[in-house]
Amino acid sequence: MIKKWVQRFYLFLIILFLYAPIGTLIVLSFNNSRTSVKWGGFSLKWYQQLFESKTILAALGNTLLLALLSAIFATILGTLAAIAIYHMKKRRQSICMSIVNIPMLNAEIVTGIAFMLLFISVGNLLSIFGIHFEMGFGTVLIGHITFNLPYVVLSVMPKLKQLNLSMYEAALDLGAGEGQAFFRIVLPDIMPGVLSGFLLSFTMSLDDFVITHFVKGLGADTLSTLIYSELRKGIKPEMYALSTIMFLAVFVVLLLVNLSPQKHIKEEQHR
């Protein structure tokens, strides 16, 4: 009993550690005072001003669009890659998996400057032919797709390993074409992996700063880079308000998904 209590308490401490800053930000978003240190009374004014700030809303638009596009592209590319890699011979497979892992294991700063060098060199090369190319939304998108890929591949791979190959063969045997067999049999079966790859990509893209920092060029600010550029002047409290809205929205959605009765039935059946 005591052991259980100690375990609970430890878990609670870790959760407190992880969520204390988030709680702080939520509190600050309602703080009437501009300085983060003093409590100036409850206020919703940052929420009001948030919707009047064009810079923040533009950055929010960029961030969400980037997250959505990069997650979609990475999911398609990564799922195909996972299927192909899964069916490779052992040696080729392990080589490919090492490549897949590079953007995840490599330092973000190294990935970031590598992209920067690439894009600037390509820009220089193209300018010889009179084509104007500079870093912006497109290069950030490429960067995000690239670092999202490993998360998709690694989410889909385990589902492929669980997939019963005879199901695919049975579909062919019953007259389905390869495409039909894939979309009707294989894809539904690995869907949980594909979906979690997509959600993970979306989240990672949303939360990224370092790579965006190096490849955004002059335009295309995301929320992260906007916050970074505001560091010296002090963070606008509107940012706290926006983050609070985003966090609570996702919190509610995840809570609903996790508490939905359907999932419970599924888990019961698994036991």
Task: Considering only residues 105 through 164, tell me which ones interact with other proteins, judged by CB under 8 A.
Answer: 105-111, 113-118, 121, 142-143, 145-146, 149, 151, 154-155, 158
Asked whether the CA dihedral 29, 35, 38, 40 is positive or negative, the reply is: negative
In the complex, least distance from residue 129 CB atom to other proteins, rounded to whole angstroms: 19
Closer of 43 and 64 to other proteins (Cβ): 64
Closer of 24 and 55 to other proteins (Cβ): 24
Q: Scanning the structure block, which residue is given the tokens 């308490």?
A: 9
In the complex, least distance from residue 247 CB atom to other proteins, rounded to whole angstroms: 5
For the chain, what's the residue count? 271
Choices 9-17, 40-48, 49-57, 123-131 (CB under 8 A): range interacting with other proteins: 9-17
In the complex, least distance from residue 56 CB atom to other proteins, rounded to whole angstroms: 12
Segment 62 to 101, residues that bind other proteins, using CB under 8 A: 77-78, 80-81, 83-85, 87-88, 96, 98-100
In the complex, least distance from residue 130 CB atom to other proteins, rounded to whole angstroms: 23
Task: Specify whether the CB–CB gap between 120 and 133 falls below 8 A.
Answer: no
Choices 3-11, 43-51, 123-131 (CB under 8 A): range interacting with other proteins: 3-11
CA 60 and chain centroid, separation: 15
Which listed residue (30, 56, 103, 135) binds other proteins by CB under 8 A?
Answer: 103
Neighbours of 46 (CB within 10 A): 22
Query: x/- site string to other proteins, residues 20 to 39, per CB under 8 A?
Result: xxx-xx--x-------xx--
In the complex, least distance from residue 141 CB atom to other proteins, rounded to whole angstroms: 11
Cα 72 to Cα 194: distance, rounded to the nearest angstrom: 10
Cα 150 to Cα 145: distance, rounded to the nearest angstrom: 10
Segment 226 to 265, residues that bind other proteins, using CB under 8 A: 227-228, 231, 235, 239-240, 243, 246-247, 250-251, 254, 258
Residue 214 touching other proteins (CB under 8 A): yes
Which stretch of DSSP H or E encloses residue 170? helix 165-173
CA 142 and chain centroid, separation: 14
In the complex, least distance from residue 22 CB atom to other proteins, rounded to whole angstroms: 5
Cα 235 to Cα 228: distance, rounded to the nearest angstrom: 9
Segment 166 to 195, residues that bind other proteins, using CB under 8 A: 168-169, 178
User: How many separate helices (H) and strands (E) can be counted in the chain?
Assistant: 13, 0
Size of the site for other proteins (CB under 8 A): 85
Q: C-alpha distances in angstroms, 41 versus 32, 45, 118? A: 5, 11, 50
Closer of 65 and 250 to other proteins (Cβ): 250
Cα 160 to Cα 164: distance, rounded to the nearest angstrom: 8
In the complex, least distance from residue 28 CB atom to other proteins, rounded to whole angstroms: 7
Cα 186 to Cα 205: distance, rounded to the nearest angstrom: 27
In a 13 Å sphere around the CA of 74, the CA atoms on its Cβ side amount to: 35
